Amino acid sequence: MMLRIFSLSLLILLGSCGGSQEPAAAGGASAPQKVYKWRMVTTWPKNLPGMGIAPETMAKKIKTMSNGRLEIKVYGAGEIVPPLEVFEAVSQGTVQMGHGAAYYWKGKVPVAQFFTAMPFGLTAQEMNGWLFHGGGMELWRELYAKYNLVPFAGGNTGVQMAGWFNREINSLEDIKGMKMRIPGLGGEVFNRAGGTSVNLPGGEIFTSMQTGVIDATEWVGPYNDLAFGLHQVAKYYYYPGWQEPGPNLEMIVNKEAWEELPDDLKAIVENASLAVNADLLAEYTARNNAALRELVDVHGVELRQLPADVLSEIRNISYAMTEEIVDPNDELAKRIYDSYKTYRDGVLAYHEISERAYINARAAK
Ligand code: CA
CA of 217 to the centre of ligand 1 (A): 9
CA of 266 to the centre of ligand 1 (A): 30
User: Would you state the pLDDT for residue 13?
Assistant: 44
CA of 339 to the centre of ligand 1 (A): 24
User: Are the C-beta atoms of residues 253 and 97 closer than 8 Å to each other?
Assistant: yes
User: Would you state the pLDDT for residue 23?
Assistant: 44
Percent of the chain with pLDDT over 90: 88
**What's the burial of 205, exposed, middle or buried (CB within 10 Å: 0-12/13-18/19+)?**
buried
Between 54-65 and 263-293, two packed helices, what is the crossing angle to 10 degrees? 150
The answer, yes or no, to whether the previous bond of 23 is cis (omega within 30 of 0) is no
User: Are the C-beta atoms of residues 159 and 123 closer than 8 Å to each other?
Assistant: yes
CA of 264 to the centre of ligand 1 (A): 35
Instruction: Return d(Cα 101, Cα 116) in angstroms, integer.
Output: 6
Rg (CA), the chain: 22
- Of 238, 228, 230, 279, which Cα lies nearest the Cα of 56? 279
CA of 226 to the centre of ligand 1 (A): 14
Give pLDDT tens digits for 35-60: 999 999 999 998 899 999 999 999 99
CA of 281 to the centre of ligand 1 (A): 14
Q: Which residues of 284-301 are buried (b: 16+ CB within 10 A; e: fewer)?
A: beebbeebbeebeeeeeb
CA of 108 to the centre of ligand 1 (A): 19
Superfamily of domain covering 36-155+246-285: Bacterial extracellular solute-binding protein, family 7 (3.40.190.170)
CA of 149 to the centre of ligand 1 (A): 24
User: Would you state the pLDDT for residue 17?
Assistant: 40
CA of 254 to the centre of ligand 1 (A): 26
> In degrees to the nearest 10, what's the CA dihedral of 228, 229, 231, 237?
20
Give pLDDT tens digits for 344-358: 999 999 999 999 999
Residue 12 has pLDDT above 80, yes or no: no
Per residue, the 3-state secondary structure of the chain, as one string, reads: CHHHHHHHHHHHHHHHHCCCCCCECCCCCECCCCCEEEEEEECCCCCCCHHHCHHHHHHHHHHHHCCCCEEEEEECCCCCCCHHHHHHHHHCCCCCEEEECHHHHCCCCHHHHHHCCCCCCCCHHHHHHHHHHCCHHHHHHHHHHCCCEEEEEEEECCCCCCEEECCCCCCHHHHCCCEEECCHHHHHHHHHCCCEEECCCHHHHHHHHHCCCCCEECCCCHHHHHHHCHHHCCCEEEECCCCCCCCEEEEEEEHHHHHHCCHHHHHHHHHHHHHHHHHHHHHHHHHHHHHHHHHHHHCCCEEEECCHHHHHHHHHHHHHHHHHCCCCCCHHHHHHHHHHHHHHHHHHHHHHHHHHHHHHHHHCC
CA of 225 to the centre of ligand 1 (A): 10
First-residue to last-residue Cα distance in the chain: 70
Instruction: Return d(Cα 279, Cα 267) in angstroms, integer.
Output: 18
Give pLDDT tens digits for 159-187: 999 999 999 999 999 999 999 999 889 99
CA of 220 to the centre of ligand 1 (A): 4
CA of 182 to the centre of ligand 1 (A): 7
CA of 12 to the centre of ligand 1 (A): 46
- What is the pTM assigned to this prediction? 0.88
- Of 322, 144, 170, 129, which Cα lies nearest the Cα of 250? 144
Comparison of pLDDT for 213 and 21, the residue scoring more: 213
CA of 49 to the centre of ligand 1 (A): 15
Residue 9 has pLDDT above 70, yes or no: no
What values do phi and psi take at 30, rounded to 5?
A: -70, 145
Residues, the chain: 365
CA of 280 to the centre of ligand 1 (A): 15
Between 124-133 and 331-351, two packed helices, what is the crossing angle to 10 degrees? 130
Domain locations in the chain as residue ranges: 36-155+246-285
pLDDT band at 32 (very low <50, low <70, confident <90, very high): confident
CA of 219 to the centre of ligand 1 (A): 4
CA of 122 to the centre of ligand 1 (A): 14
CA of 76 to the centre of ligand 1 (A): 18
User: Are the C-beta atoms of residues 218 and 165 closer than 8 Å to each other?
Assistant: no
pLDDT band at 234 (very low <50, low <70, confident <90, very high): very high
CA of 9 to the centre of ligand 1 (A): 48
CA of 227 to the centre of ligand 1 (A): 14
CA of 206 to the centre of ligand 1 (A): 14
CA of 200 to the centre of ligand 1 (A): 11
Across 91-110, average pLDDT: 96
Q: Which residues of 180-195 are buried (b: 16+ CB within 10 A; e: fewer)?
A: bbbbbbbbbbbeebeb
Q: What angle do CA 239, 240, 246 make, to 5 degrees?
A: 135
